Chain A
Amino acid sequence: MASHLDSNVIPPSRQREVPRQGMTWIGQSIKRVEDPRILSGKGGYIDDITVPGMAHAAMVRSPHAHARIVSIDTSKAKDLPGVIGVYTGEDLATVVDPCPSFASPPVPQHAMSIGKVRHVGEVVAAVVAEDRYIAEDAADLIEVEWDVLPANVDIEASLEATGDAVIHPDDRESNSALDQTFAFGPVEQHFAEADHVIKRRLRWNRSSAQAIETCGVVADYDAFKGGYTIHANTNFYNFIPFVIGGSLRVSPGELRIIPVLAGGSFGSKVFIHKIIILTAGLARLAGVPVKYIEDRMEHFMNSDSHGSDRLYDAELAVMEDGTFRSLRFTVLDDYGAYLQFGVGTHGNAMAQVTGPYQIESVGMRVIAVLTNKCQQGPYRGFGSEVTNWVIERMVDATAEELGRDGVELREQNMVQPDQFPYMIPTGNIYDSGNFQEVLAQAKGLIDYDAWKARAAEMRTEGRCVGVGLATCMERSVYGPTEWWSLNDKEAPGFTLTSTPEGISARIDPSGKMFVTLNSPMVGNSPETVVTQILAERLTVAPEDVVINYADSQTGFNGVGPQGSRFTAMIAGACVSASIKLEERLLRFAAHMLQRRPDDLELRNGAVGVKGLKDQEKSFGEIALTSSFFRLSFPDTEEFDSGLETTAVYDHPISSDPHPDREHLGIFYPIVGHICHIVAVEVDPGTGKVDILDYAAVHDNGTIVNPRTLGGQVWGGTANGIGSTLFEQFIYDDEGQFTNPNFAEFAMPTANEMPRNFKLGHVETPSPFTEYGIKGGGEGGRLGAPSALTTAIEDALKTYGVKINSLPVTPPTLRGLIRERELAITAE
């Protein structure tokens, strides 16, 4: 291990529940607890919330990418019957302060523009009216006079912008928001020693999650009732009230955020504080509760959740025998007009930047570029989907230049099973894994060798058939240093180091176990996994577990589902709560059974005497007695009534970044591994890609519920297929967003998905999390793009097509083929 990592010591494991075979509930594909109410139409999404006296907001959006607001005439809108109020950015600023920013230095952003707009779709005025129809009528009557400024669209050109084209001239002289260089290990030396340096320029274009439900808020302000009551479909409701409260000029005690079931997030609902602040401010100004649900165009244009948009100049230093030595790159990332979380997506990618390979050092220069587009937010992968693709592209490029088989080259450089926990040059660790077994299983599932032979034979018949294989990492359970570790060391920003997850649990006198979560459901399966884990640990029957969600005032620590953290984190909280509850159960039962606690055990929802089948008290009996018959127990504090507890679980294993950023510490260490293999046929005349066969094997440690994990893998793979073949936000030269709708932003339908999807799992437990669970919410999108890209190149081998940019939509791919056709003809 390189010396720059000497200071990065792996702390001892705090795992309490060791992984084991044959568990009762963990590992079962039980039907989801969440589903019956959702299937009957009673899910309770944000637009289902109705508050007495509620009015509705509609927005006036900027038609320009970059413009000064000369004047706004709201008089006609105000006169429209049914309109309660019309407000501009200046009006809103009388009750709210700018949005929170985790960037350092911050890029100022208002929930409603003041003076200037910086991307198409930015809100410049709002109407609050009796219904949405009237609100939209009034919004159409608002007249805005603009002074149009030069738009920055191209990622490289934006860095050269001067004068009026500078997007935040009061804060920054250029459109470069951050430019930092890092060397993790002796990068220069390794490149100097290398026999080959493989270079590629790689482009990953912008898209976003586009959950089928947009973001929305219902906000009410009542100074006499204690401030704001806000319903919102955020992932993040127990973690950010204090920053939202800052913008709303209230203490968290005057801010109650109530979660709702969110209709999909994939990261896109993590940062929705802007519309929370906007809607809350409107409610305060209008003096009525206000509902604002983004329409689909608004969600495309203004939801602050666009995904990565990067240009890499990457180099891999390789020895003659194919050994990888070092990886370095310069990356420009088009973050749009604001920078709400700094370059957190690059911090994230540093968790697994070397992929499953042994690479001794990593060098990076990251430049955050501001342009006149909606700003970035999280999208399934949070930046690591791009680096996964980059490293796999570099491996394929190396195989080609060295004349090696790509799979063999991967196997040669892979981390070996006896090397875990394995520390990569950035300081993050891979806790456990068996990459070779995953690869073997994937090859077996799809009969890789037979497919390779068949594809080669089909190519000799003139068909463009190819096979692609990718071996990728799936980091899970994020640590928050990823947000700021790449910031300027002199101005690190908000150096947050906690990402706790909490739970409260109570066994009531009926024997039911009431559990309260502090994170919302966004399409994951929080109630199901909590039910399974508590059933496992406490031996309760799953049907006796009842789950609810706290709001931001009744709840406590919770960060929510993001970064594939929730299952592993809530498992920790469940175990902590179970330990505390078990102690109380045993104490009360010991008294009731006249035994010592040590003689007792939990079994089938009861506390029984070890070795004596008929001597036991059910949880219900214990709870009933402990709740209602206080005088049956000693008059000491430890017998205070009731069976309830709260528990908080902190990150399983993390450490601080090195002060000089020689490394970034351990921050994303619960790491899964995936192998995707796909066979495709390309129609060279149209550029259409037909997926013939698909296998995915994921190692997510101990699996809680195979079927729900399968759903995550499948869904993530669908997102990855979309990111590879179909989905791209296209801005024209003026910064107009040309396809902000579901007809033109082409997310896969059932018709576009592979017919022969084969799913497999390897279970290499984590030594650090309870039961060895790892996260698994992002893997599909972390693997599919690489495998598909390789497969398409393989299919087009005879043309010599190289794919250096995603997505490869049919027109794009046909363009690449056309170039090669012309070149071949010219030869």
Chain B
Amino acid sequence: MKPAKFEYSRPDDLPTVLALLADQEDARILAGGQSLVPMMNFRIAQPAALIDINRVPGLDYIRMEGDVIAIGALARHADIQRSPVIQSNIPIMTEAYDWVAHSAVRNRGTLCGNLCHADPASEMPALMQLLEAQMVVASHTGQREVPAADFFTGTYETALEPDEMLTEVRIAKPAAGTGWRFEEVSMRKGDFAWAACAAMLRLEAGQIAMPRVAVAGVGDAPMRLDAVEAILTGQAPSEDLFQTAAQTGADAIDPPETPAASAAYRKDLVRTLLPRVLSTAAERAE
């Protein structure tokens, strides 16, 4: 299991990265490499060129910019997981990181690389949908922002053009008083999700406001459950409501049938997890 040959470059600045990305056929960005390199070792991926961005200074930031948290292309999972900025502003992200792989992988792996890999069973893509993150995408010709909802287009597929790179993720700080919860079921802790559910909501006069629910592992791409959010909006939290939401959520998805886990099982998981995440989120909401 050795990777095939590739051209390697290690630019010192982003413009050079983007120029190389535009110039080279079948080039891939090498950040943490924790998804890409295993696929290269299996020779499932055989990119002609790797552009190693690890020497580009100033891409590893995790910072507040007003009410927005900006996370750079080289910010590693481990640093984000431990970041006080994240812990105090987006606690659901810290909570979700408990389910992401294992420490040595988190030490190298980057959030942006993880998102570009777009594994539908991965936690962070679902979380970005939940948080309505903006994906800052750059190419040699300029820069655009893509909402998370439009970024994940399918299994291992994103809205990135071949000459584009995800340079930053921008997450608006959830409103004060937002309750949250992330739960997942996988074979072992750290494995990809059979199903993961994430919820954020606020309570206004005892009624649910601005609910957001996202799921991973149950479709071609992570997704928001609009139908569930609609049911929750304006209702007082109750076990009955959450059970109804759970059934609605299970009905709304069309999960994959895989040898290890059936579609029916994944629906069951959504049915089981949704009331749990919703009730915890409601308890945490102020």
Contacts and interface: CB of A to CB of B under 8 A. Distances in A.
A815 B4 contact: no
B262 interface: yes
A749 B264 contact: no
B155 to A, nearest CB: 16
Interface stretch (B51-59, B125-133, B268-276): B268-276
Interface stretch (A112-120, A131-139, A154-162, A217-225): A131-139
B144 interface: no
A296 B190 CA distance: 20
Contacts of B259: 730, 732, 738-739
Contact of B271 (A140, A685, A810): A685
B265 A137 contact: no
Given A739-B260, A752-B188, A752-B189, A814 B1 contact: no
B95 interface: no
A263 B5 CA distance: 30
B188 A749 contact: yes
Contacts of B191: 743, 746
B242 interface: no
Contact of A749 (B190, B271, B272): B190
Contact of B261 (A137, A811, A818): A811
Interface string B246-283: 00000000000001111011001101110000000000
B179 to A, nearest CB: 21
A685 B188 CA distance: 16
A297 interface: yes
Given A814-B268, A818-B268, A751 B189 contact: yes
Interface in B194-208: 194
A736 to B, nearest CB: 9
B271 A809 contact: no
Contacts of B264: 815, 818
B43 A140 contact: yes
B260 A744 contact: yes
Contact of A746 (B2, B3, B188, B265): B188
Contact of B189 (A136, A749, A810): A749
Contacts of A749: 102, 188-190
Interface string A281-306: 00000000000000111000000000
B190 A815 contact: no
B59 to A, nearest CB: 28
B260 A730 contact: yes
B187 interface: yes
B111 interface: no
A65 to B, nearest CB: 15
A296 B1 contact: yes
Interface string B167-198: 00000000000000000010111111010000
A123 to B, nearest CB: 15
Contact of B272 (A685, A730, A746, A752): A685
Contact of A811 (B1, B43, B102, B260): B260
Contacts of B265: 687, 810-811, 814-815
Contacts of B268: 685-686, 814, 818
A199 interface: no
B188 A726 contact: yes
Given A685-B272, A809-B260, A815-B265, A751 B190 contact: yes
Given A133-B2, A815-B264, A818-B264, A726 B187 contact: yes
A688 interface: yes
A781 B264 CA distance: 31
Contacts of A726: 187-188
Interface in B63-120: 102
A19 interface: no
Interface string A34-76: 0000000000000000000000000000000000000000000
A605 interface: no
Given A295-B1, A730-B260, A810 B188 contact: no
A132 B261 CA distance: 36
B43 A810 contact: no
Contacts of B187: 726, 746, 809-810
B4 A137 contact: yes
A748 B188 contact: yes
Interface in A119-151: 132-133, 136-137, 140
A730 B272 CA distance: 26
A532 to B, nearest CB: 37
A739 B191 CA distance: 13
A688 B265 CA distance: 12
Contacts of B190: 749, 751
A687 B269 CA distance: 9
Contacts of B261: 811
A412 B76 CA distance: 61
Contacts of B262: 811, 815
B263 to A, nearest CB: 10
Given A752-B189, A810-B185, A686 B5 contact: no
A751 B265 CA distance: 23
B253 to A, nearest CB: 16
Interface in A796-810: 809-810
Given A730-B260, A738-B259, A811-B265, A688 B189 contact: no
Contacts of B4: 137, 140
Interface string A776-815: 0000000000000000000000000000000001110011
A686 B190 CA distance: 16
Contacts of A748: 188
A732 B259 CA distance: 7
A644 B185 CA distance: 62
A685 B271 CA distance: 8
5 contacts: A140-B4, A683-B272, A686-B185, A751-B188, A818-B268
What are the 8 tightest A-B residue pairs by CB atom distance, in nearest-first order?
A685-B272, A811-B265, A738-B259, A746-B187, A295-B1, A730-B259, A811-B261, A751-B189
Interface of B: 1-5, 42-43, 102, 185, 187-192, 194, 259-262, 264-265, 268-269, 271-273
